[in-house]
A and B are shown apart, each in its own frame.
Chain A
């Protein structure tokens, strides 16, 4: 196990000296207990990407180990067009337009013929609420409620997630931590940590389960730009909305395996079928 890590470290020493203040030897001693990742569906052509495993124990960044990421998920081609489609879908599927206009029959009055059909030299009219009249009904106006619900095709949702994760990784906005345990429940601690590690104002923490550790829940409750989310809630819009994405290692394993399984799905008939409103 250790030999595996040290082999990885030796290959990337060139990078390390550039970016990290901690010496490699110190990391090797510390990383005794940390297991390297084994990638499902091992990549054939692209090299696995590498990322530091960090901890939220201290305010200063402490590098615990070097982890490998699957290139199909974290080094996919950044399809910003598909990302845009995902964001549009997420905004629209829950949007209901309440704009409303009244048609000729709904506007009050107008039941009587205003003047006789013939003999006055005036234009013929049957109702004072006709759309030709001032104060009359509206033709083809917006009718409330108008749902804008639609489903984006499953492969596009999948490409959206892999593209967004790849973009976050490529822009150095993805961080992996061992757990979301904090030493204190003071909001100042997590804010100071985010500031000192240059994690950008807004941070999205992803945990595997939806029951989060107590300290981080209490600390971030009043801080509106630091948010917590379970792994099943991961979505393109939230990732794009936050500057930095922080995954726990368990969440990383879950998300990567889930995406890879879906990329190698045997019979996609069920997910490609037309969406029915009453489907569960």
Chain B
């Protein structure tokens, strides 16, 4: 044990003799007053196992690094629907996000005045999807639907809040 540690312990014992309140209040407020770092031996008894069968249970408890694929079912309690498997034949695809959700978002700006709906991750014939969405949304609207296509980024921007309508449209197409 070093000299510094010895002195600090001596001081502590003196102080504890004076009053019990000092006993539990070791503050290590300065660098010099703090004790030296020591290797702490684990006090719990343990044994090392390299059994792959047991390791499965450890793996199960570890957090997932990659979003897992959903288990295919008839229906899900939340109402969420997976994308259809045979998408190859479709003229366009709205790819799901990595969390398997439909990438349709609402952007509110100009202090709540301007509402734009964004459909992202579109692959294939983006102009056809825009036409179909316009036809679908026009039925419920008095004004003509205004929209903008960004082919490079695969994004359609539509004026107004049509998030749920577009999600319904895409779900009906099993997208």
Q: Which residues of A contact B (CB under 8 A)?
A: 44-46, 77-79, 261, 263-267
Contacts and interface: CB of A to CB of B under 8 A. Distances in A.
B5 to A, nearest CB: 29
A77 B124 contact: no
Chain A residues touching B, majority SS: loop
A265 B67 CA distance: 6
Nearest to A40: B66
Contacts of A265: 65-67, 98
Given A44-B87, A45-B87, A77-B152, A267 B63 contact: yes
B123 interface: yes
Given A77-B152, A264-B67, A266-B63, A45 B98 contact: no
Nearest to B93: A45
Interface of B: 63-67, 83, 87-88, 90, 93, 95, 98, 123-124, 152-154
Nearest to A71: B123
A39 to B, nearest CB: 15
Nearest to A45: B93
Contacts of B87: 44-45
A261 B88 contact: no
8 contacts: A45-B93, A45-B123, A78-B152, A263-B98, A264-B66, A266-B63, A266-B66, A267-B64
Contacts of A266: 63-67
Nearest to B123: A45
A264 B64 CA distance: 11
Nearest to A267: B63
Contacts of A45: 87-88, 90, 93, 95, 123-124
Nearest to B94: A45
* Of listed B63, B66, B83, B98, residue having the most chain A CB within 10 A: B66
Kindly list the 10 A-B residue pairs having the minimum CB-CB distance in the complex, ordered from nearest: A45-B93, A266-B64, A264-B98, A266-B67, A264-B66, A45-B87, A45-B123, A44-B87, A77-B152, A264-B67
* Of listed A78, A264, A267, residue having the most chain B CB within 10 A: A264
A232 B108 CA distance: 40
Given A44-B95, A265-B65, A267-B63, 13 more contacts: A44-B88, A45-B88, A45-B90, A45-B124, A46-B123, A77-B152, A79-B153, A261-B66, A264-B98, A266-B63, A266-B64, A266-B65, A266-B67
